[in-house]
Amino acid sequence: MSDQLRPRSNGSQNLKTVARHGRLKKSNAAVTVAKFLAGSLAVVLVSGFSVGAIAAYDVAASVQPSVHLANETDGPVPSIGAIDGGVNMLIVGSDSRVGQDAAFGPEDSTGDLNDVTMLLHISEDHSNASVISFPRDLFVPIPSCPDPDGGSFPAMSSQKINTTLTYGGLACTVLTVEKLTGLSIPFAAEAQFSGVMAMSSAVGGVPVCVASRIEDEYTGTFLDPGEHMLAGYDALQFLRTRHGVGDGGDLTRINNQQLFMSSLVRTIKSADTLSDPAKVYALAKAVTGNMRLSDSLNSVTTLASIAVALKDIDLDQVVFAQVPTGSTTGGVKAVQPAFDNLFEAVAADQPLALSGTTGRGTVADPNALVEAAPAPAATTDPIATDVPAATDAPVATEAPGVVLSESVTGQTASDYTCSRGRTLENQ
């Protein structure tokens, strides 16, 4: 079988939109309003758990064609209420410039790569959730994937995971992660740059802490030490910056993204946004049109059911983790047995407990740690302009469950961290 990456046809994809709304029974006005608001709530909650996939769903109807996954079968749409059992959802962020602002570059400048790939898992009892990030340069086997134009693409023994979107679309990315992890993933979503901008603006900005100056000429990101409220284009560029944080690599950029996601979740929960239907609806509408959903997600009630399962989970029970990897020629590879142990815990529906650091792209927020004082701070000084490379933020997780290897970096939504900046002179 060929290991050469074969791009998709440039022809249009005639994906059939599943009219799930047509199967819903008519209801009275009160129930209709409840479903409408629950759909809006679903959008906001799901988006709060992903940076590359800010939820983009019109609560009245689908705005883009849905994507059929290989393991999907037609079935009844769930009623409003917490979804039965656990949830596995793959969320990818596409770097495609098609239809995006010219500031991101020419439409054909990068192709269509899933530079953000995350797995959201909600436990069966809805007591905890995890968001697991896969580095874009992770070499993985790609199974035979259906061609959206008919037929199938051949399997490949080893390619970077971020090529799967180009190779066979969202369904191929899902199949690849299923084979890699041994999990069944019935839900998936794909978003682009504009969704991140819309969501961060809709919540009035997301506060981020910078420990040492960030300088990145590639994204135009220049931030001094301290706290910054980022929204729109500035928020997007903060998430895209690689050269300006940590060691300049993709792994430390993921640390920075996890910092942002944690702050976004806290922002949504702490601002009473979810108790205000008008704000919830505004947030939902702000991101309409920025996401493609799998057939299984293409209904208001399904999104609402997932949202209900998420909304009462405590911040310290929302774990952001990066899969353990080691260097290899041209990219990274999974580190065993830590990699398999991580997904065995997910498959067994066990809560995840971190034992490592937040990674080399972030440090503990010394001010937050002084207030809470549950664990030793990475530094007891106020936010400094020069943070030593050895001060990765410690993670103090006392929740029951499977304690992951120290090689698994990450943080919970309740952990306050700061970006470890990188100046031009160090690049």
Q: What is the pLDDT of residues 46-100, one digit of tens each?
A: 444 333 333 334 444 444 567 878 776 666 554 557 788 999 999 998 865 454 4
Question: Mind listing the pLDDT tens digit for each residue in 394-403?
Answer: 454 445 689 9
* b/e code 77-107 from CB counts within 10 Å (16+ = b): eeebebbeeebbbbbbbbbbbeebeeebeee
Closest to 172 (Cα-Cα) out of 304, 257, 71, 97: 71
The answer to whether residue 129 scores a pLDDT higher than 80 is: yes
The answer to whether residue 319 scores a pLDDT higher than 80 is: yes
Q: What is the CATH number of domain 29-426?
A: 3.40.630.190
Question: Mind listing the pLDDT tens digit for each residue in 246-285?
Answer: 999 999 999 999 999 999 888 877 766 666 666 666 566 6
Q: Are 49 and 318 in contact (CB under 8 A)?
A: yes
Q: What pLDDT score was predicted for residue 41? A: 43
Pairing type for strands 206-212 and 417-420 reads parallel
What number of residues does the chain have?
427
Q: How is residue 192 written in tokens?
A: 């682009």
Q: Is 176 helix (H, G, I), strand (E, B) or coil?
A: helix
Average pLDDT score over residue span 315-336: 96
What is the rounded distance in angstroms from the CA atom of residue 92 to the CA atom of residue 192? 9
Question: Mind listing the pLDDT tens digit for each residue in 132-155?
Answer: 999 999 999 999 998 878 889 999
What is the rounded distance in angstroms from the CA atom of residue 414 to the CA atom of residue 223? 24
* b/e code 153-181 from CB counts within 10 Å (16+ = b): bebbeebbbbbbbbbbbbbbbbbbbbebb
Could you state, in order of their start, the residue ranges of all structural domains in the chain?
29-426
What is the rounded distance in angstroms from the CA atom of residue 320 to the CA atom of residue 98? 29
Which residues have CB under 8 Å from 315's CB, separation 6+? Answer: 265, 266, 269, 412, 413, 414
Q: How is residue 35 written in tokens?
A: 């479903």
Place of tokens 């037929």: 151
Which residues have CB under 8 Å from 83's CB, separation 6+? Answer: 122, 302, 305, 306, 308, 309
